[in-house]
Amino acid sequence: MTMALVEIKHVTKRYTKHKVALDDVSLTMEEGRIIGLLGPNGSGKTTLIKLLAGLLSANGGTITVDGNAIGVETKKVVSYLPDVSYINENQKISQVISYFADFYADFEPDRAVAMLENLNIDVNLKYKTLSKGMKEKVQLVLVMSRRAKLYLLDEPIAGVDPASRDYILKTIIQNYDPTATILMSTHLISDIEHILDDIIFINDAKVGLVSTVDDIRETQEKSVDEYFREVYRC
Ligand SMILES: Nc1ncnc2c1ncn2[C@@H]1O[C@H](COP(=O)(O)OP(=O)(O)OP(=O)(O)O)[C@@H](O)[C@H]1O
- pLDDT given for residue 104 in this prediction: 93
Residues with Cβ within 8 Å of 121's Cβ and at least 6 positions away in sequence, in order, are 93, 130, 134, 137, 138
Instruction: Provide the 10 A C-beta neighbour count for residue 85.
Output: 13
DSSP-derived secondary structure letter, 104: -
Question: Ligand 1 atom 12: the closest Cα is on which residue?
Answer: 21
pTM (predicted TM-score) = 0.94
Cβ atoms 13, 36 nearer than 8 A: no
Choose which residue among 14, 18, 46, 49 to substitute to test ligand 1 binding: the one with the highest number of ligand atoms within 8 A of its C-beta. 46
Question: Ligand 1 atom 17: the closest Cα is on which residue?
Answer: 46
What are the beta bridge partners of residue 181?
Answer: 150
The burial of 168, by beta-carbon neighbours within 10 Å (0-12 exposed, 13-18 middle, 19 or more buried), is given as: buried
Q: How far is residue 45's CA from residue 38's CA, in Å, rounded to a whole number? A: 7
Q: Is the CB of 74 under 6 A from ligand 1?
A: no
Q: Is the CB of 204 under 6 A from ligand 1?
A: no
- pLDDT given for residue 4 in this prediction: 92
Q: Is the CB of 159 under 6 A from ligand 1?
A: no
Both ends of the chain: CA-CA distance in Å? 35
Choose which residue among 19, 84, 185, 187 to substitute to test ligand 1 binding: the one with the highest number of ligand atoms within 8 A of its C-beta. 19
Q: Are strands 4-14 and 20-30 parallel, antiparallel or unpaired?
A: antiparallel
E strands in 82-195: 150-154, 181-185
CA of 112 to the centre of ligand 1 (A): 31
- pLDDT given for residue 166 in this prediction: 86
Q: Return per-residue pLDDT of the chain as tens, 234 residues.
A: 556 999 999 999 999 999 999 999 999 999 999 999 999 999 999 999 999 999 999 999 999 999 999 999 999 999 999 888 778 899 999 999 999 999 999 999 999 999 999 899 999 999 999 998 899 999 999 999 999 999 999 999 888 888 888 888 888 788 788 899 999 999 889 889 999 999 999 999 999 999 999 999 999 888 999 988 887 764
- What's CA 94's distance to the chain center, in Å? 24
E strands in the chain: 4-14, 20-30, 34-38, 60-65, 68-69, 78-81, 150-154, 181-185, 198-203, 206-212
The burial of 120, by beta-carbon neighbours within 10 Å (0-12 exposed, 13-18 middle, 19 or more buried), is given as: exposed
- pLDDT given for residue 233 in this prediction: 62
